[in-house]
Structure 1
């Protein structure tokens, strides 16, 4: 049985699985679906066409599934889809998508999202990410798995952030951040490989060696991007092939240029 506080307002058309907990004064709209074990804190508003998976925790006063903050939006039916086991702290805002892409904002699973984080329309957030307080992702931003985004960081529209990247405190991110790197400063720059994160995730020495080589080729040898890509391709077969391919795929898909 779901546990719904008597002061909460849950539309009869909303679909809540067994074990959902809804706190005081929360509001849940008619097109909302919430998976088993999810906890909705007090004063949260969950609206729009929003689908939430299992065992998520939303702390108080968050606005989830709100209308896109996009002046071209004309009320089209768009969606927000959230995976499992995410922790979302106070005063976060997640928008639904727009007609400019697939009409979908997507949040993966096992993310740790601190207070006052904003995920704008059409954002795609991967799995196991950490977004510190007041991180703001503009429309169409894509974030790979295991990325860490520091507090008070703003990410420009259409920017892509690669898997296992780490972005420092109060960064202004207007270009793509390649996988596995640590970036910070103003202007933003690549500082090093995110070794601490990789070791915590049990990357083998061979994988780390390949990533260090890619860092050197991209950022330390004054190569053009095409030259660096060719040299990275040549690393295949030496260990770390999955990381080499991930990097090549990211570079091929980059549209805004790279933080260097």
Structure 2
């Protein structure tokens, strides 16, 4: 551990080969796994649980108290999975008594000036581009890409493998496998490029497209679309995942296709 001019609280649990650059502050009740690099001028506050081989760049603030007036000092955490990179000036707030934690999965890239608020749960292999913002209690699946300056309303859910274009305001739930854009946010197709990059074959992509044609392009309401999907389309993990997402949505899913984007 290399920490000239850094402050590490004696109660912090730091693996032996963690590198800590000068002018960084690490508070009590912090755990950092092997191989992680902490840049200069980083602040890691109580409740941080950082995995192995992470990289945290200058100016980041991890596990600060939530920006929530209902927070009453309860003991909560921020959990960051292995191999995740946190770029400059990112802020990640710890949880409240709603979930008692804020969590980011493995192999994520959170780019500069992004903010992840209290009680957010982010899956594995996600990319948040510069200045992406999650309000409190947001749930994000695996392999989600947020382009620059996306802002997500509190309590929204974003499904796995979805892509949200830059500057989009997310006020509704975003189902898995799709591209979302416009104001107000709406369906503009499936994330076929991202799916191909992850090894999804053309037949599976076509199946997902057909599911969303029923949901978004046939003028059915959600109940009608789900009934058609269950009775007329073969049961597959992807079909069932999409149906369950729509059924479980508490904020309602974003609106449908409205023309060529």
Residue of structure 2 equivalent to 1:106: 103
Name the SS of the counterpart of 1:152 in structure 2. coil
Residue of structure 2 equivalent to 1:27: 25
TM-score (norm. length: structure 2): 0.95
Residue of structure 2 equivalent to 1:149: 146
Residue of structure 2 equivalent to 1:120: 117
- 1:197-208 equivalences in 2 (<5 Å): 197-208=194-205
Question: 1:113–1:85: structure 2 CA closer, same or farther, 3 Å change rule?
Answer: same
Which has the larger displacement, 249-258 or 192-201?
249-258
TM-score (norm. length: structure 1): 0.95
Residue 176 of structure 1: how far off its partner (Å): 0.3
| Structure 2 Cα separation of the partners of residues 196 and 17 of structure 1 | 39
| Structure 2 Cα separation of the partners of residues 244 and 106 of structure 1 | 27
Which residue of 83, 95, 98 corresponds with 1:97?
Answer: 95
Residue 221 of structure 1: how far off its partner (Å): 0.3
Residue 235 of structure 1: how far off its partner (Å): 5.8
Which residue of 157, 161, 167 corresponds with 1:170?
Answer: 167
Residue of structure 2 equivalent to 1:88: 86
Residue 207 of structure 1: how far off its partner (Å): 1.4
Name the SS of the counterpart of 1:250 in structure 2. helix
Structure 2 residue 241 is the aligned partner of structure 1 residue 246: yes
Which residue of 178, 181, 188 corresponds with 1:181?
Answer: 178
Superposed CA offset, 1:153-189 (max 9, x none):
1100000000011000101100000101101112211
Q: What is the RMSD of the two structures over their aligned residues, measured on CA atoms?
A: 1.1
Residue 245 of structure 1: how far off its partner (Å): 1.8
Which residues of structure 1 form unaligned runs of 5+? none
Residue 236 of structure 1: how far off its partner (Å): 5.4
Which residues of structure 2 form unaligned runs of 5+? 256-261
Residue of structure 2 equivalent to 1:255: 250
Residue of structure 2 equivalent to 1:78: 76
Structure 2 residue 172 is the aligned partner of structure 1 residue 193: no
Which residue of 41, 44, 47 corresponds with 2:42?
Answer: 44
Q: Give the total of aligned pairs.
A: 255
| Structure 2 Cα separation of the partners of residues 42 and 232 of structure 1 | 53
| Structure 1 Cα separation of the partners of residues 227 and 16 of structure 2 | 53
| Structure 2 Cα separation of the partners of residues 96 and 235 of structure 1 | 45
Structure 2 residue 219 is the aligned partner of structure 1 residue 219: no
